[in-house]
Amino acid sequence: MTDENSEAKLNNQPQEKKKKKRKKRHNRKTGFYYSFFTIVLIFCLIQIGYGAILNIGKIISYQGKMVTLENLLKKAQMRNQDLKSEKKVVTSDNSLEGIARNNLKMAGEDEVLIIINKKVEEPKKKKSKWQSFKFPFQKQEKEVEPTGNIYIPPEVVEE
């Protein structure tokens, strides 16, 4: 019996070694799979966190834009109300008549229009010390001839 047991033990030892090797291989494979799965999960968590941060940033910027647009809308509505009230004032008969008399120099049917021109003094030009020198590249100004009592600025005169 002892011989059989010893033979059985000898036969079982290679089988036990094979089982241990299989178990080690299995443990290595599962360890590799678990570590790979852990890395994939960590990568997914990083992606989720990054997306959340980006979305929070967009939400904050859109809220800021909404506030500025709401303020702009309020200002536009107030301006619209002002323009509507101004339109009512301007389109009334009294204001149209006032504009025609004062700005457009018009008179009513039985009225005579008298326009009194006030003498306008010519503005005096200040000479700088550099104007006494005549440089060849300096732009020459054309002199405007005075026409009667009315001063016409040089910008108005056509060439």
pTM of the predicted structure, to 2 decimals: 0.40
pLDDT, tens digit (0-9, with 9 covering 90-100), for 23-73: 777 777 788 888 999 999 999 999 999 999 999 999 999 999 999 999 999
Residue 144: exposed, middle, or buried by beta-carbon count in 10 A (0-12, 13-18, 19+)? middle
Count of residues for the chain? 159
Distance CA 98, CA 104 (A): 9
Residue 60 backbone phi and psi in degrees, to 5: -65, -45
Does residue 77 carry a pLDDT above 80? yes
pLDDT, tens digit (0-9, with 9 covering 90-100), for 91-145: 887 777 877 877 777 887 888 877 777 777 777 766 666 665 565 565 555 555 5
